[in-house]
Amino acid sequence: MERISSNMNINDMQYQLEKRNKSMYELNNKMSTQSKISNLRDDPLAAAHSTRYLSKITHLERYTKNAERVKSEHRVAEGYMQSANSVLHRIRELAVQGGNDTYTKSDKQAMGQEINQLLNELVEIGNARNPDGTTMFGGDNTATTPYRVLSGNVPNADGHVITEVEYRGSIKPSVVEIGEGNYVKKHFAGNEVFWAEEQQVFSGTNAQNYVVANDTSIQIDGEEIQLNSGDNIHNIIAKINDSNAQVKAGLDPVNNSLTLRTTSPHQMFLEDGQGGNVLQDLGVITEIGKPPFNIAEDAKASGGSLFDMVIHLRDRLYAGDTIDIGGSALKGIDMAQDKLVSSISELGAQDERLQVAMRRINSEIPELQEQNSKEVDLDVTKAITELKRLEQAHQAALGAAGRMMQPTLLDFLR
């Protein structure tokens, strides 16, 4: 520009001062919050990433907490299961001894007494509760006591002894999330842990001509199996076998009736879906009663729990029946122990999974925190240097501005 008016210098200086003031103010703000982002516009994409990181970190911390809690609960449960195992061990010893004909009848009765006591101990273990009062082995029915004891008279026993131990808990353990889509069981279901033999149910009703009337469903061990209208017995069997339930269905060649057999020892819970009655019609269950007490009267059920095995052994000892003691009773105890040990090792495997998950999360959290920090935290050295530079420039500008009052012609005219 050729011509400079008197105001130009001043206007310009004001404008630049304003700009610099703004930069210094913003920088000061950032330094006091230690964050690069005092407004979203300062780095919109970093802010967007940061929201994801912060959320993810919260989630991971929750997963760690969940995993740790489940781990300590499992420890306690494992302790109980080990305890039950050593009780079974002692019972087995007694079984082996009792199968030996060298012992007298009264000796065997005494053994029976000991086993009765040990049975009570096992029931106590089965009904164990967590410190917060919830049951350990009742599945997700954590309020009711899992095992209900019926007592009565048994030949040669002293007074009332336990005759039956019924499982009243649920079969479904709750799950807890320890990672995205990663779940771990929180409870244990007594119908699995304290079971001994494969269970089998043979219906007495001829199912050859049976056809499903409407779309409905049946529930086996909590698994819902859909049936369509028009399905015959073979379709039903195929669907049961295809499903996730650990149960194998078949057709009894003699009666043409439905048979169900567990593929790993546990007590089956059979139910009809809402509004349906297929299993009732097939003679497997009755209308009244809830599983597992709803097996139909003319259906044959076999297979027993750990308690059943111990009761059987004890009763044989009371009766002095050597052959059975060393034979089927001992076999029963062995099967119970097998199942218990496999439950313990399943626990161990779950525990290891928990460890792995926790280790991974614990290394992921600091990494995420670092990434977040890179996005939003202020680089303090850079900021301070920048601030210093601005301050210097500001000083220089103010100094120049101070000299803005130049002498004019007026000063030189007389």
The residues that touch other proteins, with contacts defined as CB under 8 A, are: 1-8, 11-12, 15, 37, 39-45, 47-52, 54-55, 58-59, 62, 66, 69-70, 132-135, 138-143, 170, 172, 174-177, 180, 186-187, 219, 222, 224, 271, 273-274, 376, 408-410, 413
The interaxial angle of helices 105-126 and 306-319, nearest 10 deg, is 160
Q: Is the dihedral of CA 102, 108, 114, 117 positive or negative?
A: positive
Quick one: 94 or 378, whose CB is closer to other proteins?
378
Q: Residue 62: in which H helix or E strand, if any?
A: helix 44-98
- Give the nearer residue to other proteins in terms of CB position, either 192 or 271: 271
Shortest CA distance to 190 belongs to which of 137, 227, 228, 231?
137
| Residue 290 Cβ vs other proteins, minimum distance, rounded to whole Å | 9
By C-alpha distance, which of 233, 220, 137 is closest to 185?
Answer: 137
CB of 241 to other proteins, least distance (A): 20
Q: Which of 116, 88, 97, 123 is nearest to 337 (CA)?
A: 88
Q: Name the nearest CA neighbour of 14 among 413, 400, 410.
A: 400
Residue 219 structure tokens: 């529930």
Considering the complex, state which of residue 270 and residue 336 has its C-beta at the smaller distance from other proteins: 270
CB of residue 349 vs other proteins: minimum separation in angstroms? 21
Pick from 253, 260, 267: nearest CA to 239: 260
* Residue 292: φ, ψ to 5°: -90, 25
Least separation in angstroms between residue 50's CB and other proteins is 4
Number of neighbouring beta carbons within 10 Å of residue 287: 9
Indicate the residue among 189 and 317 with the shorter CB distance to other proteins.
Answer: 189
CB of 263 to other proteins, least distance (A): 22
> Which of 153/174 has CB closer to other proteins?
174
Three-state DSSP class for 256? Answer: coil
Residues in CB range of 51: below 8 A, 6 or more apart: none
CB of 264 to other proteins, least distance (A): 21
Residue 106: count other Cβ atoms within 10 Å of its Cβ: 10
Q: Which is nearer to other proteins, 168 or 261 (CB)?
A: 168
When the beta carbons of 182 and 255 are compared against other proteins, the nearer one is 182
The least CB distance from residue 52 to other proteins, in Å, is: 5
